[in-house]
Amino acid sequence: MRNFTPFLILLLFLFSCKGGDENTTTRKESRRKPEPKYLYGICIDSLDVVEGNVKKNEFLANILQKEGVSYNTINYIDRNQRKVFDVRKIKVGNKYTFLMSRDSVPQAKYWIYEIDRTNYAVFKLTDSLSAWRGEKEVITEIEHVGVEIKSSLWNAMAEAGCDASLILELSDIYAWTIDFFGIQEGDSCKAVFEKKYIAGDSVSFGIGNVLAAYFKNNGEGKYAFSYEQNGRKEYFDENGDNMRKAFLKAPLNYRRISSKFSNGRMHPVYHVVRPHHGVDYAAPTGTPVQSIGDGTVIAKGWDKKGGGNYVKIKHNSTYTTTYMHLSKFGKGISQGCKVKQGQTIGYVGSTGASTGPHLDFRLQKNGTYIDPLKFKSPSAEPVKKENREEYKKHIENLMKILKEH
């Protein structure tokens, strides 16, 4: 046993030394200073944070005086910092923050007003009064969603937890190719999109760019890919054809089509057979009616032949559209004025020879009436030949994601 004694002593010595090193390291780590904390770019280690939201009938003076800010300071901010932010424009519900000193009598050092989810204005309330704007760090993540439609795209996306802005964006992308009021059970939609987050916040505050989408409608699939050309972001299909057409698919949100294009129809009021060279969209009175494309109003007024209040728009040398039975006209609509695609030019009504509220929509090509429901609108500029190879590479991975999900 005596032969093992030196060996045991050596082991105890080694273990005790090792333990001593760990303790030394722990003590050194405990002496390290904690990382400073910042809020709106200001170190708040020695400040208290007081948050609030603008209430109804609350103004700058009400808010600042609650924390003891003098009227002179409030007046200075109101009069001299409008280039940074005009405090007369603060909105009910928007967040604000006071950074307070930790004195026996706390003093408001800073007041920060959040203009929107990402932008804010900082007002320094002591020493040299000053103000500046800041922007929160935004993190963008790529996400995807796929839904099968049972009743409507809106309901399907809502059930999948999607933001309403994504649904609206998809509606805009496919506005020229899909009639969203003709969607039926069994249709489906997929999308790859950007989702925005404020750094440190797990709750998204909005949708960024929709990178790609696939919509299956009536058994036909339609791809759409975001691509920038000529400094402008547009959407193209897998062949590089522009998703944007010359005209919208329909001039309004309608409930049903009550009468189609015909060369011989029994008129519901006059009870005689005569041509109906338009499409009747049944919709509630007051439903906004939009111009299906850019153009010039060439006629506005009352149609004596039964059309009631109407607007006629010339889009180019080939196409003209007419919107009839309007209850009233859109703001600023007059003969000779320019209109943009999607602009409200009137509202659904039942004026003239009509049995109920609807829009009688008519489309002429080179002066001849054609069926709007059978008309295929020409595409806008496709991906240029010199950009085709780059475009193919651009959509390759996006298409793979859509197919896998």
Question: In the chain, what are the domain boundaries?
Answer: 38-135, 139-236, 256-370
Q: Report how far residue 154's alpha carbon sits from residue 166's, in angstroms, rounded to the nearest whole number.
A: 10
- Domain 38-135 top-level CATH class: alpha beta
Average pLDDT rounded to a whole number, residues 181-209: 86
pLDDT in tens, 67-112: 999 999 999 999 999 999 999 999 999 999 999 999 999 999 999 9
- The mean pLDDT value for 359-386 works out to 89
Instruction: Give yes or no for residue 219 having a pLDDT over 90.
Output: no
Query: What tens digit of pLDDT does each residue of 129-172 get?
Result: 999 999 999 999 999 999 999 888 888 888 988 888 898 899 88
Averaged pLDDT, 60-73:
94
pLDDT band at 10 (very low <50, low <70, confident <90, very high): low
Identical fold between 38-135 and 139-236: yes
Q: Which of 22-31, 151-160, 275-284, 374-383 has the lowest mean pLDDT?
A: 22-31
**Tokens in use for 274?**
């005569």
Confidence of residue 292 (pLDDT cuts 50, 70, 90): very high
Q: Is the full-model pTM beyond 0.85?
A: no
Calculate mean pLDDT across residues 304-328. Answer: 93
Q: Which residue has the higher pLDDT, 1 or 302?
A: 302
Report whether pLDDT(374) > 90: no
User: Would you state the structure tokens that stand for residue 71, as one six-digit string?
Assistant: 């009227």
What is the pLDDT, as a whole number, of residue 240?
95
Helix (H) or strand (E) holding 279: strand 279-282
- The rounded distance, in Å, linking the Cα atoms of 267 and 259 is 10
Least Cα distance to 391 among 246, 212, 220, 176 occurs for 212
Query: Residue 20, Cα to own-chain centre: how many angstroms?
Result: 61
- The residues near 61 (Cβ < 8 Å, ≥ 6 apart) are 71, 74
Q: Give the integer Cα–Cα distance in Å for 113 and 133.
A: 10
**Under CATH, what is the fold of the domain 139-236?**
Nuclear Transport Factor 2; Chain: A, (3.10.450)
Is pLDDT above 50 for 229? yes
Mean of per-residue pLDDT scores for the chain:
87
Q: How does residue 224 score in pLDDT terms, banded at 50, 70 and 90? A: very high
CATH of the domain spanning 256-370, picked from 3.40.309.10, 1.10.3470.10, 3.30.499.10, 2.70.70.10? 2.70.70.10
Of all residues in the chain, what percent carry a pLDDT higher than 90?
58
Looking at residue 165, its pLDDT comes to 87
**pLDDT greater than 80 at residue 373:** yes
Q: Which of 8-12, 108-112, 342-346, 386-390 has the lowest mean pLDDT?
A: 8-12
What would the mean pLDDT of 111-138 be, rounded to a whole number? 94
Lowest pLDDT segment from 51-65, 340-354, 376-390: 376-390
Stretch among 246-255, 315-324, 335-344 having the lowest mean pLDDT: 246-255
329: pLDDT confidence band, cut at 50, 70 and 90? very high
Residue 208 neighbours by CB under 8 Å, 6+ apart? 140, 193, 194, 195, 196
CA distances from 51 to 90, 118, 131 (A): 15, 17, 19
| Nearest-angstrom CA–CA distance, 357 and 341 | 23
Tell me the pLDDT band of 1, cut-offs 50, 70 and 90: very low
Q: What is the mean pLDDT of residues 43-67?
A: 94
